């Protein structure tokens, strides 16, 4: 009895074969299987500007007891990457349609950028996306928090400490009127330094994910989120994520 907590290992940022840069081995079944082998519990698939491989992953991952948070890695107009997580696939797919309308449309050149394959739960290709998904959208960073929230989701600036495609690399600072309360960094050893340099982050929960583009790079079970239950719903997980650490 008492206040025992469940520490659930997570990885909330990875790419499937629908991202041009994602390895073709990153199929829904392979991702679910590898996450299970690595003994992760909470995962999110976050392809660039699309969520269309998430429904297949939801089906395959349930067999392994994994909790999948429907997700996408949005590219803003400033080429800032933002991990967007949603409580339900419906929220994500609605957001997917919105983002697709706002994607700057340039045809993909698979031989150069890589293939963009949408799959079903049997890893059968069902569509090849013709437009390059890593392109920017015309969605600005300053509106992204409220926008994602209007679809029921949570916006998390991605890999803040990355030298390209991050909020800090592309804007150079954290806009003081920002609203995000969760941010992702690549190198957890830099948390204290980053919080000192950017006091805004002191009011945030900081997470670290793999940003895996191939199966081997999916995270080991070394980072955890704590819950009162062993089976939190995606909505409960999002509520925890948007709550600062302290
Ligand atoms: Zn990114
Ligand atoms: Zn990524």
Enumerate the domain spans of the chain.
6-241
Res 4: pLDDT? 75
Percent over 90 (pLDDT), the chain? 97
Distance 5 CA to ligand 1 centre (A): 31
167 has pLDDT over 80: yes
CA distances (Å), 196 to each of 4, 62, 164, 193, 202, in order? 32, 40, 21, 5, 8
The model's pTM is 0.97
Taking a C-beta distance cutoff of 8 angstroms, is the pair 175, 141 a contact?
yes
Residue 233: Cβ within 10 Å count: 13
Containing 117, the helix (H) or strand (E) segment is strand 117-119
2 has pLDDT over 70: no
3 has pLDDT over 90: no
Burial of residue 230, with CB atoms counted within 10 A of its CB: 0-12 exposed, 13-18 middle, 19 or more buried: exposed
Which tokens in the block code for residue 176?
């003081």
Res 135: pLDDT? 96
| Cα–Cα distance for residue pair 176/195, rounded to 1 Å | 14
Distance 79 CA to ligand 1 centre (A): 9
Strands 81-85, 154-157: pairing kind: antiparallel
Res 246: pLDDT? 62
160 has pLDDT over 50: yes
Which residues line ion ligand 1, judged by CB < 5 Å?
Answer: 81, 158
Distance 117 CA to ligand 2 centre (A): 16
Contacts (Cβ under 8 Å, ≥6 apart) of 215: 23, 25, 26, 30, 31, 34
Q: What's the average model confidence in pLDDT over 179-208?
A: 97
From 172, 104, 173, 91, select the one nearest 137 (Cα to Cα): 104
Which residues line ion ligand 2, judged by CB < 5 Å?
Answer: 73, 211
Phi-psi region of 15 (alpha: psi -120 to 50; beta: other; left: phi over 0): beta
Mean pLDDT, the chain, whole residue set: 96
| Cα–Cα distance for residue pair 238/243, rounded to 1 Å | 9
| Cα–Cα distance for residue pair 172/166, rounded to 1 Å | 9
Identify the CATH number of the domain defined by range 6-241: 3.20.20.140
Contacts (Cβ under 8 Å, ≥6 apart) of 204: 180, 181, 182, 183, 244, 245
Distance 82 CA to ligand 1 centre (A): 7
Res 1: pLDDT? 47
Distance 2 CA to ligand 2 centre (A): 39
Distance 159 CA to ligand 1 centre (A): 7
């Amino acid at each position: 009895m008492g206040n025992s907590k469940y520490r659930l290992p997570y990885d909330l940022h990875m790419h499937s074969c629908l991202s041009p840069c994602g390895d073709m081995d990153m199929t829904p079944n392979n991702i679910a299987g590898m996450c299970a082998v690595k003994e992760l519990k909470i995962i999110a698939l976050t392809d660039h500007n699309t969520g269309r491989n998430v429904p297949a992953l939801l089906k395959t991952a349930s067999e392994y007891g994994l909790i999948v948070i429907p997700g996408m890695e949005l590219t803003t107009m400033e080429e800032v990457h933002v991990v967007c997580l949603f409580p339900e696939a419906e929220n994500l797919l609605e957001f997917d349609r919105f983002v697709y309308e706002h994607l700057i449309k340039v045809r993909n050149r698979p031989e150069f950028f890589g293939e963009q394959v949408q799959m079903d739960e049997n890893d059968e290709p069902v569509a090849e996306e013709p437009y390059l998904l890593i392109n920017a959208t015309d969605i600005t960073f300053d509106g992204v928090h409220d926008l994602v929230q209007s679809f029921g989701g949570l916006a998390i600036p991605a890999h803040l400490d990355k030298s390209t495609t991050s909020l800090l690399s592309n804007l150079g600072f954290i806009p003081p009127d920002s609203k995000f309360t969760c941010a992702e960094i690549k190198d957890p050893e830099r948390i204290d330094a980053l919080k000192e340099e950017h006091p805004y982050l002191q009011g945030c929960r900081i997470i670290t994910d793999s940003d895996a583009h191939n199966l081997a790079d999916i995270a080991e079970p070394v980072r955890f989120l704590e819950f009162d239950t062993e089976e939190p719903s995606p909505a409960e997980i999002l509520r925890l994520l948007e709550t600062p650490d302290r």
